[in-house]
Amino acid sequence: MAVASAKGAPANGSVALQVFRGDPAGGAEERFEVPMQEGMVVLDAIHYIQAHFAPDLACRWNCKAAKCGSCSAEVNGRPRLMCKTRVDEFDGEIHVWPMKAFPLIKDLVTDVSWNYKVNREIPPFRPSPNEAVPYRMAAEDVERIYEFRKCIECFLCQDVCHVLRNHDDKSLYYGPRYMVRIAGLEMHPLDTQRRTGLLHGKAGVGMCNITKCCQEVCPEHIKITDNAIIPLKERTATDSYDPIAWVARKIRGGVPPEPEAAAIPGFVPKAGVQRFAVQDVVRLRARGRPLARVGRVLADGWLEVWVLQMGGVTQRWRGPKTVRATDIVSNYGPLDDVGIGSKIRDQD
């Protein structure tokens, strides 16, 4: 495909591009010749075309430094970031097409909104309600998920995924990008949320047949299949047949057991002390058993709290008040989860 025909061979000092132009009604390649510059990338050529030949040529881009993942396209049939694809790596004409797995909007721009819809369905990070802030986490525990956090959401993996691309059925599988996102959440050392049911069901981790195409095109070199999808498949299988394993893993992940914690110098969790996080909703032992939210976690078992006062239609948080952790009867977890946050006006 990349072989240049005699007609397509670029003149000296210029490069020829065949750029797809069109909209949902139809379209075809259009040929442009662009002067060659040292170190030129495909996106430079597209910009040149916009400025000199076709001002309305549609393409997405932002940073031009392979950090934002906007300029995804198919260059000579391969999903690439245009800002990272050097023109001089090809002989002859360069064919630039939009991503095929998503509905076309115009020219090189596709409608990727489905990805954002899927993203909203994934339960967010949920730390244990008793986790003290600031967090303590061992370097090796967080480094495990660095790889997943590197994702720039270019959706090239989604574009190349057989389930999403060939079967054109996006109801069966969330796609590699969201396996990476879920892996990052599941392996976060302080996360307590359970997502294996989702993985097994709607997210459809079972649909992946491990062809590893996604990890081949990843511009961030994330080992999507090896490090995200396969471990998630294993996890889902284990949890479906052995619920105790999930509990055990989450406890290990959420509250590090003694030996691990002791390995962090200077960090010795006190046994038996209840743990609180900023924004937790708690009930106090005081008269009337008022509700309060945690403002700050102080040293030696002291907390700063804001006490909820309800008077007719107005509700307000009064504080800060310093209390002992032992003055707290129960902890209902983060304000957002408890759900009274949005209904209460913070008037102080």
Partner 1 sequence: MTETYETHTCDVLVIGAGGAGMRAAIEAAGDGASVILVCKSLLGKAHTVMAEGGIAAALGNVDPQDSWETHFQDTMRGGQLINNWRMAELHARESPDRVYELETWGAIFDRTPDGRIMQRPFGAHTWRRLCHVGDRTGLEMIRTLQDRTVALGVEVLMEVTVTRLLKDGHRIAGAFGYNRVDGQFVAFRSKAVVIATGGWGRIFKVTSNSWEGTGDGVGMGYEAGAEVLDPEMVQFHPTGMLWPPGVRGILVTEAVRGEGGYLKNKDGQRFMLEYDPKKKELSSRDVVARAIHKEVEQGRGSPHGGAYLEVMHLGADTIKKKLPSMYEQFLRLADVDITREPMEVAPTIHYAMGGLWVEPETGATTVPGLFAAGEAAAGLHGANRLGGNSLSDLLVFGRRAGAAAATYQRDVTRGNLHERQIAEEQELLLKPFQSEGKENPYLLQQELQTAMQEGASLARDERGLRACLKKVLELQRRIEMVHVPGSRRYNPGWHTTRDLRFMLTIAEAIVRAALERKESRGAHWRLDYLEKDAKLGRVNYIAYSDSGRMRLKTRPVPEMPHELSRLFGEPEPLPAQKTA
Cα–Cα distance, 178 to 157 (Å, whole number): 10
Would you say 292 or 294 has its CB closer to partner 1? 294
345 binds partner 1 (CB under 8 A): yes
Least distance (Å) between residue 236 CB and partner 1 = 21
**Beta carbons of 338 and 332 less than 8 angstroms apart:** yes
Q: Which of 100, 106, 194, 316 binds partner 1 (CB under 8 A)?
A: 106
**Beta carbons of 205 and 233 less than 8 angstroms apart:** yes
Least distance (Å) between residue 173 CB and partner 1 = 20
Least distance (Å) between residue 208 CB and partner 1 = 23
Least distance (Å) between residue 344 CB and partner 1 = 8
| Token reading at 152 | 């720039």
Interacting positions 167-206 with partner 1 (CB under 8 A) = 185, 188, 191
Q: Which of 60, 194, 202, 212 binds partner 1 (CB under 8 A)?
A: 60
Q: Which of 9, 51, 251, 298 binds partner 1 (CB under 8 A)?
A: 51
Would you say 218 or 233 has its CB closer to partner 1? 218
98 binds partner 1 (CB under 8 A): no
| Token reading at 319 | 């504080």
Q: Which amino acid is at 106?
A: K
146 binds partner 1 (CB under 8 A): yes
Cα–Cα distance, 75 to 221 (Å, whole number): 18
Least distance (Å) between residue 137 CB and partner 1 = 5
Q: Which of 9, 11, 14, 23 binds partner 1 (CB under 8 A)?
A: 23
Interacting positions 126-145 with partner 1 (CB under 8 A) = 127, 133-139, 142, 145
119 binds partner 1 (CB under 8 A): yes
Q: Beta strand 14-23 with 94-97: parallel, antiparallel or unpaired?
A: parallel
Would you say 59 or 160 has its CB closer to partner 1? 59
Q: Which stretch binds partner 1 (CB under 8 A): 101-109, 165-173, 283-291, 320-328?
A: 101-109
Q: Which stretch binds partner 1 (CB under 8 A): 146-154, 170-178, 242-250, 317-325?
A: 146-154
Phi, psi of 281 (to 5 degrees): -95, 125
* Long-range contacts, 313-317 (Cβ 8 Å, 24+): 314/345, 314/347, 315/343, 315/344, 315/345, 316/344, 316/345, 316/346, 316/347, 316/348, 317/292, 317/293, 317/344, 317/346, 317/347, 317/348
120 binds partner 1 (CB under 8 A): yes
Interacting positions 253-312 with partner 1 (CB under 8 A) = 264-267, 277-279
Cα–Cα distance, 47 to 14 (Å, whole number): 15
Q: Which stretch binds partner 1 (CB under 8 A): 34-42, 195-203, 205-213, 223-231?
A: 34-42
Would you say 124 or 272 has its CB closer to partner 1? 124
Cα–Cα distance, 343 to 216 (Å, whole number): 48
Least distance (Å) between residue 31 CB and partner 1 = 18
